[in-house]
Structure 1
């Protein structure tokens, strides 16, 4: 029996999120701390050719997103990649996939919420950790009202954030000097490729759409559209913002700055520009934190519904259609990351786990293609070319994660294996099907 059948109303989520809300979840999860930090890091690696690095990162994201969109159409269920793997490879693989997926966003949340706290501190003087914790609590309160309410809030916040970032690009147009874009690639092809690996992390988040698949109306149509619209919007915003930053600040200065966009804004708007960017950062990272809470709670909900985590996490509130306990647990974990974590460790470990979680779904799609299962509404084009490319890109990104990311990711994996062993039973010993 499919995991999507035979469920009671108490463990089913409502399809109340339309295309606009689904795109807002994806864009909100993608445009976050990356645009404010990774622009500088990519510039340090690639120079002005960071623009090309972002374009290459978009291509890599698209190659991985195509098979992900096909799987999302096949299995429009809560948990995204976890649901794909659980349905095809069985409970053990499903648990490990869900654990990695869950952990990636739990760790990344520390980078997002502390980034929010840092920018809020610049504006108000509130301690960064206090601001980070307050943000999580607000996101929990919004999500307790239901995903439809959260989706409307997300749409509003993301529209404001995109408008602000585009305003940054527009305001800096008069100060752009094309001479700053030479030499174009000071570190050669290697610098461009290294920059592309860094920029890929800034595109992370499109998979959040699939994670909320059970709550998206008309998933066959809206899921792939939302994923591709998310990537297209993010690419346009990144290129415009990066072009403005690189055209107004020397790439070396931009790469050495801890707040590259504030550095750029101060050049053409003065101190007011730095505060303007801080406001945009606060709004954008708040939207990202909300999207992270949505996806983490839906992953734990899906795993609990399948008996892989405590059943309490699978309970849905009748009035709001919200998995309340899963939302509260995710809120607690996000608070812990904000209080105990650091942006550097959160990014390294979360990045490793995030890249790792794409591999099992790719294996799932290979399995489905071999058995020639029913065709979904959307199919990956040129699979003999794109699927090997997707595998190669994920392996390359894993190798570039660094010692801290790999070590932390392995610790999280070992912890998950221990949890799975402790919860072993007849269901856990189900053979892979």
Structure 2
């Protein structure tokens, strides 16, 4: 009976775009501006444009998949339908891993901004926000949801205010030399900037609750990306235009450093306070998503079943929350922001490549015409694969080796656990979190930035 349950379609275009923008813009941009400038120098705004183009190329076939499967689950549903359980496990494991590592730089970002206010060491600040997020998640989703709603509005106002006040102070001379680290630096920066668009896929995951999904989904995804691009261009241009690229790239609190250049110590503290709240809310949202993915995989026998335990009073998956927060704490203490971004970026790109493969398979398998078809598919789909491959290479040895090790360990565990799964029911791949859970994605509001 439960498997046949249907969600109500109550989200129109405006609500879907709000979901996407709210889930994309968030704590990630407060951290990723510095990381992107560190790789690209003054060409960081170009990196955000390239990342936008990549997101559009990936979003178009993703939107076609969403119109073919307008139900909850997003990429999981696509891969499960076309490629079967083994690759769908890799989808879930890789997606969970992307949240683990991307949340690492979000929590470190919190620590950096808290350090600029209090002097508390960055790693200690990261542990503080992980502990606080754990407590909120164990207490229940109602409090977490209220906090997310408040912070999304605060973030939007603060970022637009930062851009409006800072724009008149931009010095164009700071944009030369434009790309001191060459094309390679810009491409690597584009991968990091791509993490700041994480969240548009939340709209596809909510497909079962969107009205007229065949038409609304692709429009909502593209409008979300355009809106986010505008904000990110404003923030990156102002940041690079008021502070030297070297200073910005090495700052643990880049937007606060930029604000100090045109608004003095008061502006620096104000931005730092907003960043602390925003990165804290994003860290909380990431832990929500991480724990729900771990819970669902454990419930399906893909992770130890002890992680599927749920609190009787709160109804929260407390075991998965504690497990996820423990893994997150290890990552926050063991890696730097660039390392976490490289590994998380590789895994996040992989999580898009598998649905692209699924689309190719489904197009050959069925003659059904979806409500939305990728325009110029013979060009767009290969280009989407190409940009994904470029991003994988751009993650560098750190991203490639770290992410490959993560995938290998997970898949080995999956294969070793096959015997116990065969003794029970057939596993299903966990559905993607519901919109209420994912508000504020990993690097964006959410998905990183």
From 256, 263, 277, give the equivalent of 1:262: 256
8 Å Cα contact 1:43/1:50 also seen in 2: yes
- C-alpha change, 1:173 and 1:136, in structure 2 (3 Å) is same
1:38 equivalent to 2:32? Answer: yes
After TM superposition, the structure 1 stretch with the greater mean CA deviation from structure 2, 51-60 or 30-39, is 30-39
From 55, 74, 80, give the equivalent of 2:49: 55
Give the distance between the partners of 2:366 and 2:267, measured in 1 at CA. 56
Q: Which residue of 1 aligns with 2:438?
A: none
Tell me by how many angstroms 1:164 deviates. Answer: 0.6
Q: Which residue of 2 aligns with 1:85?
A: 79
- C-alpha change, 1:406 and 1:185, in structure 2 (3 Å) is closer
1:7 equivalent to 2:6? Answer: no
8 Å Cα contact 1:212/1:295 also seen in 2: no
Give the distance between the partners of 1:78 and 1:301, measured in 2 at CA. 17
After TM superposition, the structure 1 stretch with the greater mean CA deviation from structure 2, 256-265 or 408-417, is 256-265
Counterparts of 1:374-413 in structure 2 under 5 Å? 374-413=368-407
8 Å Cα contact 1:78/1:298 also seen in 2: no
Q: Secondary structure at the match of 1:205?
A: coil
Q: Secondary structure at the match of 1:357?
A: helix
Tell me by how many angstroms 1:245 deviates. Answer: 1.7
Give the distance between the partners of 2:152 and 2:374, measured in 1 at CA. 29
Counterparts of 1:5-404 in structure 2 under 5 Å? 7=3, 26-27=20-21, 30-32=24-26, 34-76=28-70, 79-140=73-134, 142-143=136-137, 150-182=144-176, 184=178, 192-211=186-205, 216=209, 218=211, 220=213, 223-224=217-218, 226-304=220-298, 306-310=300-304, 325-404=319-398
Give the distance between the partners of 2:118 and 2:21, measured in 1 at CA. 27
Tell me by how many angstroms 1:208 deviates. Answer: 4.1
Q: Give the TM-score, by structure 2 length.
A: 0.79
Tell me by how many angstroms 1:344 deviates. Answer: 3.6
Q: Secondary structure at the match of 2:419?
A: coil
- C-alpha change, 1:307 and 1:373, in structure 2 (3 Å) is farther
Aligned residues: 425
**What is the CA deviation profile of residues 158-204 of structure 1, one whole-angstrom value per residue up to 9, with x for unaligned ones?**
11112111111112133223343455556666655454344223323
Give the distance between the partners of 2:314 and 2:72, measured in 1 at CA. 16
Q: Secondary structure at the match of 1:167?
A: helix
Tell me by how many angstroms 1:237 deviates. Answer: 1.1
- C-alpha change, 1:253 and 1:118, in structure 2 (3 Å) is closer
Give the distance between the partners of 2:141 and 2:312, measured in 1 at CA. 13
- C-alpha change, 1:241 and 1:302, in structure 2 (3 Å) is same
After TM superposition, the structure 1 stretch with the greater mean CA deviation from structure 2, 308-317 or 348-357, is 308-317
8 Å Cα contact 1:32/1:281 also seen in 2: no
Give the distance between the partners of 1:396 and 1:178, measured in 2 at CA. 30
**What is the CA deviation profile of residues 93-144 of structure 1, one whole-angstrom value per residue up to 9, with x for unaligned ones?**
1111211111111121111112112212322344544443443344445556
After TM superposition, the structure 1 stretch with the greater mean CA deviation from structure 2, 124-133 or 12-21, is 12-21
Q: Secondary structure at the match of 2:373?
A: coil
8 Å Cα contact 2:109/2:252 also seen in 1: no
8 Å Cα contact 1:80/1:213 also seen in 2: yes
8 Å Cα contact 2:26/2:155 also seen in 1: no
- C-alpha change, 1:91 and 1:427, in structure 2 (3 Å) is farther
8 Å Cα contact 1:43/1:254 also seen in 2: yes
Q: Give the TM-score, by structure 1 length.
A: 0.82
Give the distance between the partners of 1:75 and 1:323, measured in 2 at CA. 28
Give the distance between the partners of 2:220 and 2:80, measured in 1 at CA. 23
Give the distance between the partners of 1:74 and 1:142, measured in 2 at CA. 37
Tell me by how many angstroms 1:271 deviates. Answer: 1.6
Tell me by how many angstroms 1:353 deviates. Answer: 1.3
8 Å Cα contact 2:187/2:394 also seen in 1: no
- C-alpha change, 1:145 and 1:362, in structure 2 (3 Å) is farther
Tell me by how many angstroms 1:79 deviates. Answer: 4.9
Tell me by how many angstroms 1:396 deviates. Answer: 0.5
- C-alpha change, 1:262 and 1:423, in structure 2 (3 Å) is same
**What is the CA deviation profile of residues 219-273 of structure 1, one whole-angstrom value per residue up to 9, with x for unaligned ones?**
8276545533432232111111112122223445444544432332112111222
Tell me by how many angstroms 1:8 deviates. Answer: 7.8
